């Protein structure tokens, strides 16, 4: 391996991330009702291996074992998400006590081990009952989200150390409602814009609701992808700017008080007079998820319904997902956020970063994943450079603790520091787990 990693500041948080639908299983236990992902995964042709999250990592029953794995890793924080359809099964009305009780047990067992609970309120598993009323296309869902946030904070507000309202609203909008490759599977292209606005409105209302019930910091997590211009014409540059506005600015500008960037083809009538003030409720943290840059040029088809075309970037090594590996992209996006938003930018937490490879258990029962170690090593060096360049970053969370249900890819993409055998539920820490443990322990 290369030179030791540079020192990170004292107090920097090392963590790992997961999400409810991807690990919990137990989808019909203790009063949980279906989410849009339960419905979507039952629709033929939606998930490559035809799988569902019905069992996933069985974390709902095995959380104690998983908390022990977290303790063995020595992480200071664990980011998990709360399943709305467990806590408020139909998306309205009182809390389901059994649903809240699960997160109560999880939070207490984390605190017992000295691990800070970091809770995401929405990681894409909307109650199906709300989808039946229009999902995030319906303005009412924003108010429902704030009510649900209050129910959760009423129970956990004294113990969760960092709150994240939404996870990657861009991905949920574009994959779920624009292209239909994620739940709820709607294909509305730019007619999906209300999904952006209602998620942001829900975020703003939830920030205010949470403030009343917790003294812990509150933020939102966005996915960022530096745009790599592929082409040299004015049309290519315009396409790159349009994509950048959609992916990188649509969910950041309004939250930081700048209003909406111009997005071609969207209907501004969705936005009511006071909405932008609600959305700009002050936050204490910006969650940044980074996986890869995106190649963009002008559409080659003049009839394209999109104002850009995405181009695979072949000058980078790729993960088993085909995602380009570019640590410099992390430095670029962080310094770019710092430059663009200046004093309006709250402290950043890298709430996800990681990679999938075809990790297997060898004849000795070990799972060696040198590519993941190299990936994390490279990205942490890039992060350190960004911090040295003045960006205020408070923590880094590896995606993910466990191999898990990777949405439309089912169980075919392994992102974990811990290998999971989905037939036996046996957990095997990979080489990267030991590497991260040593790094956290100051031995790297």
Residue numbers of the site for ligand FCB (CB under 6 A)? 19, 22, 167-168, 171, 223, 289, 352, 399, 406-407, 415
DSSP bridge pairs for 348: 286, 393
CA-wise closest residue to 86 among 142, 25, 168: 25
In whole angstroms, how close is the CB of 276 to ligand FCB at the nearest point? 26
In whole angstroms, how close is the CB of 175 to ligand FCB at the nearest point? 9
In whole angstroms, how close is the CB of 259 to ligand FCB at the nearest point? 26
Q: Which of 24, 309, 332, 352 is catalytic?
A: 352
Sign of CA dihedral 251, 215, 441, 406: negative
Residue nearer to ligand FCB on the CB measure, 209 or 405 = 405
Q: Is 65 a catalytic residue?
A: no
Residue nearer to ligand FCB on the CB measure, 95 or 136 = 136
* Rounded distance between C-alpha atoms, residue 17 and residue 212, angstroms: 26
Q: Which of 168, 332, 371, 406 is catalytic?
A: 168
Residue nearer to ligand FCB on the CB measure, 289 or 432 = 289
Residue nearer to ligand FCB on the CB measure, 22 or 214 = 22
How would you class 147 by CB atoms within 10 Å of its CB: exposed for 0-12, middle for 13-18, buried for 19 or more? middle
Locus of tokens 């809770």: 119
DSSP bridge pairs for 350: 288, 396
Angle of the 370-388 helix axis to the 431-440 helix axis, nearest 10: 30
In whole angstroms, how close is the CB of 18 to ligand FCB at the nearest point? 8
* Rounded distance between C-alpha atoms, residue 396 and residue 244, angstroms: 24
CA-wise closest residue to 51 among 37, 62, 61: 37
Residue nearer to ligand FCB on the CB measure, 196 or 241 = 196
Q: Residue 176 phi/psi, 5° resolution?
A: -80, -40
Q: Is 352 a catalytic residue?
A: yes
Does residue 178 contact residue 219 with C-beta atoms inside 8 Å? no
Structure tokens given for 27: 């989808």
In whole angstroms, how close is the CB of 409 to ligand FCB at the nearest point? 8
Residues taking part in catalysis: 168, 352
């Amino acid at each position: 391996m290369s030179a030791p990693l540079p020192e990170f500041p004292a107090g920097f948080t090392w963590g790992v991330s997961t999400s409810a639908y991807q690990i919990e299983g137990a989808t019909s236990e203790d009063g949980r009702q279906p989410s849009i992902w339960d419905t979507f995964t039952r629709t033929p042709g939606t998930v490559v291996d035809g799988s569902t999250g019905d069992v996933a990592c069985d974390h709902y029953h095995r959380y104690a074992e998983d908390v022990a794995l977290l303790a063995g890793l020595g992480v200071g924080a664990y980011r998990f998400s709360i399943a709305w359809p467990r806590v408020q099964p139909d998306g309205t009305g009182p809390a389901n006590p059994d649903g809240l009780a699960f997160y109560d047990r999880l939070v207490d067992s984390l605190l017992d081990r000295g691990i800070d609970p970091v809770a995401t309120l929405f990681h894409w598993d909307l109650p199906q009952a709300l989808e039946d009323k229009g999902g995030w296309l319906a303005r009412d869902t924003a108010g429902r989200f704030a009510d649900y946030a209050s129910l959760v904070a009423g129970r956990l507000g004294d113990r969760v150390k960092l709150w994240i309202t939404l996870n990657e609203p861009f991905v949920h909008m574009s994959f779920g409602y624009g292209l239909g490759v994620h739940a709820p599977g709607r294909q509305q292209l730019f007619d999906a814009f209300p999904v952006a606005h209602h998620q942001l409105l829900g975020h703003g209302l939830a920030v205010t609701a949470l403030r009343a019930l917790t003294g812990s910091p509150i933020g939102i997590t966005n996915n960022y992808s530096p745009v790599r211009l592929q082409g040299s014409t004015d049309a290519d540059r315009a396409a790159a700017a349009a994509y950048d506005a959609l992916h990188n600015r649509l969910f950041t500008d309004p939250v930081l008080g700048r209003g909406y960037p111009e997005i071609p083809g969207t209907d501004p009538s969705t936005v009511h007079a006071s909405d932008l003030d609600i959305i700009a409720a002050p936050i204490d943290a910006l969650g940044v998820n980074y996986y890869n840059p995106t190649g963009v040029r002008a559409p080659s088809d003049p009839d394209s319904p999109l104002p850009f075309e995405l181009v695979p970037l072949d000058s980078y090594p790729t993960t088993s997902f085909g995602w380009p590996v570019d640590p410099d992209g992390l430095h670029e996006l962080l310094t770019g956020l710092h430059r663009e938003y200046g004093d309006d930018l709250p402290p950043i937490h890298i709430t996800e970063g990681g990679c999938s490879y075809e990790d297997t258990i060898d004849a000795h029962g070990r799972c060696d994943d040198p590519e993941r170690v190299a990936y994390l090593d490279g990205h942490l060096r890039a992060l350190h450079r960004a911090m040295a360049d003045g960006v205020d970053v408070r923590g880094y969370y590896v995606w993910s603790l466990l191999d898990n249900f990777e949405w439309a890819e089912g169980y075919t993409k392994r992102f974990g520091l811990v290998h999971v055998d989905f037939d036996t539920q046996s957990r095997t820490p990979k080489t990267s787990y030991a590497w991260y443990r040593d790094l956290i322990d100051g031995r790297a």
